[in-house]
Structure 1
Amino acid sequence: MRQKQQSVQVLISLLIAGVAIALIIGILGRLVPRNNNTNADNTTPPIQKPVTPTNPRISLGNKILIGANTTPEKEAGVQAFANGDFETAVEKFEASRQIQRNDPETLIYLNNAKIGASDALKVAVVIPIGDNLDTAQEILRGVAQAQDEINSNGGINGLPLQIEIVNDDGKPNLAKSLASDLVKDPNIVAVIGHGSPGASLVAAPVYNSGELVMITPSFGPSKLSEMGDYIFRGSADLSVSSDALADYIVNKANIRTIAICVDSSIQFQDIRDPYEKAITKAGGKVTKTICDFADPLFDPNTIISTATGDGAKGLLLMPIVNKLGPAKELAKANEGRLGLFTHGGLYTYETLNQGRENFRGMILSAFWHPDADPGNPFFQDATELWGGKVNARTASAYDTTQAVIAGLEEGNTREGLKNALSDPNFSASGASGDFEFSDLRYRKEKPLFLKIDRGSSSGTGFDFVLIP
């Protein structure tokens, strides 16, 4: 009898255990995903979305930052990219390029979509879209061309170059905040930027403390040399261009006395002072004429009269690149009486388009012109890629990206890149010849001199003509 009871108890225990095991298996089946390639309805599972930037000012291809060039195809490409459907993104971005050939944002997104979720070397480019769209796109064209070329040729030691676009609107406070975000992204090995001098100055200390290389693609204030070992300038020091232009004014144009006009709405004293010192060193004299483009009572005719009365034989115009109106009016009032000179920042299409006859004869120093090195393939390649001619800012951005690429070939970490760029023997090939850094981490360059004159290349009726 006892044996029978024991058998029943064993049977009951086994039944309870079986039920418990079944329940556990059922629960686990709900929690653990199926180890196959289909969903319950035997369909292909959704594509895994890549890790894309959530900041609305940062994009790898998942959002449009430059709305001026939007096409339905580009919008569809961005949506596909955000969903991780890179094949469709490539198709749509290519279709958009057929419509907007000169849109650099689309070409960058196209190259990023070709990379997809594969390993890549990630570089951020920070541009001032809201402050100066032309400047932003000119920088992007240089970066995009360099990315397209290196990726088409197998990448950097086998790894493609991925470009992340960042928009700081040229605002220093915003630039500083975005710099902090970029430093925190461990995948970013370098930053090309910022597109405005003020933004560069406040962002540079953030990058340096975060040990992230920053290279300015064009004009960079001399103070950047004091910001640390991770900060480089893709252009020559201001003293190089100021000394060269001063020597030209005094010793070639034979103008011994000149008035300088600046825009006090930004810290332009940092630019005026080197030019004033350079003119004095060259044997010239700067008049005491007060000429401020930001003055609400600015009167071009009064300025010309005052400058002439002060003995000036020339005018050195230093306007903000995207605020050319007062400088144009002053040049118009001048009527050719005083020689006109300006800084290399005005080597832009807008200078020709807005100034036209008023700026005719104005001379500036620059570091690139397509006629200066006719054997260099950059200009022809750029013309074919964008369907039109490019300017010095695009050439400088291209060269800066080439420097990053050459540095990453030597060391593809933040520290490795910094060490490569700091090597006295470092050199990269660019749009204007070899790219080398000085001991103070700015580019070694020899200035050229250009004059605005009649011509047909720009489509405005005026061109920047190289002075032999």
Structure 2
Amino acid sequence: MQKTSIIFFLFLFLITGCSQNGKNELAKEKEPMRVGWISDLSGSVSKWGADKAVQIAVDEINEAGGINGRKFELIMEDGKCRSKDAVNAMNKLIHVDGVHFVLGGHCSPESLAIAPIAQENKVLMFAQMTTSPDLSDAGDYVFRTSQVNTEQSKLIADLMLQKLGIKSLGIIYEETGYAEPIARVLKEQFEQNGGSVLLYEGYSQGEKDFRSSLTKVLAKKPDALFFSPQDNENAGLLLQQIHELGGKEHIFGNEIFGSEDLVKNMGVYMDGIIYSTPDYNPLGEKEKTFIEKYKQKYNVEGLPFGLYTAEVYDATNILAQAISKYGDNVDKVKDALYKVQDYYGASGKFSINEKGDGVRNYVLKRVQNGKVLNLE
């Protein structure tokens, strides 16, 4: 009798447990698919429109039925394009919200800071607007749609020395994980090929008065100047202040100088600026379609930062497609991202290589009379 009772209660326990597990699975299937998000939501980099671009993608995904019937939901945190804030945001997303996937960071200082946390916790992070070469070896849970930014340094150095006959250079850069490597590699390439860097000087993130550095570099009379700021606000201030000091040198810049805001609003200060940027055709079929969507939703002309705004939309769709196929299985989603090759989306065509980096081609551009022209 006692043996029969034990068997009966064991059977009842198993049935109840299975029933409860089934209910839990059904409840999970009805819950939103929550993905973390880290970007600058309140500072100068917020002007790049990452949060606006992702909202277009999220709305479209949910209008099409979500992810296997589950609503796609972002838990958005303000990384402020600063390491400390990004780390706090990442720890909250992982240890409080329990996410398995994070879209972000959305600038190099954010992404470099959160990459070790993602790797340690085996949480997949998928960054955009992040081009620092220092992210390439961060680990196999770290991905980005952006390319390594130092490719532009090599193009600029070759143009200066081989085609324009520039022999001396002054370099001023912002001390961030994005801006400093561009300046450093340019200095190395320029000097290795016979050029002379007369001033190489950095400034702290948050600095707004560059007159001291600009006065020093103008006194050395270089053939040209190269500016590598973190954002378009400081790019504009550098141009304005060098103009006020009477600088006539040829000015080159990093890809920040291609932002829609600068070209549109800085007028004569931008005239003649040469910079290098990933190849992007706003008149391409998918590029143009996304630009129109952005315009209709936010009532603006063009994208605030071209392909970098658009790649946020692409990354969101790529991640959603992978999650739709593999669910919460981070390792399988990770393997799917490594297989992204010749993806054509709103930001143009790109691939993801064995280090998790985006791969795109860099080209040279020149601003002339308020228009951005290809430099042949």
TM-score (norm 2): 0.78
Q: Distance in 2 between matches of 1:120 and 1:334?
A: 56
Q: Distance in 2 between matches of 1:150 and 1:288?
A: 52
Displacement of 1:146 in angstroms is: 1.8
Q: Distance in 1 between matches of 2:31 and 2:278?
A: 36
Displacement of 1:344 in angstroms is: 1.2
Q: Higher strand share goes to which structure? A: 2
Corresponding residue of 2:23: none
Q: Does 1:125 align with 2:37?
A: yes
Corresponding residue of 2:219: 305
Q: Does 1:341 align with 2:252?
A: yes
Q: Which runs of 5 or more residues in structure 2 are unaligned?
A: 1-28
The AA in structure 1 aligned to 2:195 is K
The AA in structure 1 aligned to 2:322 is G
Match of 2:227 among 289, 295, 317: 317
1:241-271 deviations in whole A, cap 9, x for unaligned? 2223333333344434322112348885433
Corresponding residue of 2:22: none
Query: How do 1:107-126 residues align onto structure 2 when only pairs under 5 Å count?
Result: 118-126=30-38
Corresponding residue of 1:155: 66
Q: Distance in 2 between matches of 1:326 and 1:385?
A: 30
Q: Does 1:416 align with 2:332?
A: yes
Match of 1:464 among 356, 361, 372: 372
1:322-363 deviations in whole A, cap 9, x for unaligned? 333551235415767322111113332442356321121111
Q: Does 1:432 align with 2:344?
A: no
Give the paired residue count. Answer: 338
Distance 1:220 1:268, change over 3 A: closer
Query: How do 1:198-237 residues align onto structure 2 when only pairs under 5 Å count?
Result: 198-237=109-148
3-state SS, counterpart of residue 147 of structure 2 = coil
Q: Does 1:191 align with 2:107?
A: no
User: Would you say the 8 A contact 1:399–1:435 is kept in 2?
Assistant: no
Q: Which runs of 5 or more residues in structure 1 are unaligned?
A: 1-116, 455-461
The AA in structure 2 aligned to 1:358 is Y
Displacement of 1:120 in angstroms is: 3.2
The AA in structure 2 aligned to 1:298 is S
1:59-117 deviations in whole A, cap 9, x for unaligned? xxxxxxxxxxxxxxxxxxxxxxxxxxxxxxxxxxxxxxxxxxxxxxxxxxxxxxxxxx9
Q: Distance in 2 between matches of 1:284 and 1:409?
A: 53
Corresponding residue of 2:161: 250
Corresponding residue of 1:13: none
3-state SS, counterpart of residue 359 of structure 2 = coil
Q: Distance in 2 between matches of 1:140 and 1:411?
A: 25
RMSD: 3.0
Displacement of 1:139 in angstroms is: 0.8
User: Would you say the 8 A contact 1:213–1:418 is kept in 2?
Assistant: yes
Q: Which has the larger radius of gyration?
A: 1
3-state SS, counterpart of residue 58 of structure 2 = helix
Displacement of 1:167 in angstroms is: 0.9
The AA in structure 2 aligned to 1:443 is G
1:251-302 deviations in whole A, cap 9, x for unaligned? 3444343221123488854332122223345x35241225445587616355
Match of 1:448 among 338, 344, 363: 363
Q: Does 1:277 align with 2:193?
A: no
Q: Distance in 1 between matches of 2:178 and 2:245?
A: 26
Displacement of 1:408 in angstroms is: 2.3
The structure, 1 or 2, with the larger RCO (C-alpha pairs under 8 Å, 6+ apart) is 2
